[in-house]
Structure 1
């Protein structure tokens, strides 16, 4: 939801660094999955 405001002007989306956004999300989910109570992981796990 926090990225929806960035998609208002679709002509500018090619200038965003989508790869780093995906990696940041993946790293955050890997951290959450490493916690004791975690049962699953979200994100693009095929990048691993």
Structure 2
């Protein structure tokens, strides 16, 4: 995506279904999403 868009135009958006899942399922998914966003930001910030 960074070949086409600026980094400022990208964001992480959770998939639908969070309202129908229990917290025990949602928390790990969101934790992984945050870690993935941090991992992708490292080379962009450098």
Could you state the TM-score of these two structures normalised by the residue count of structure 2?
Answer: 0.46
Structure scoring higher RCO (CA < 8 A, sep ≥ 6) equals 2
Larger helix percent: 2
**TM-score, normalising length from structure 1?**
0.44
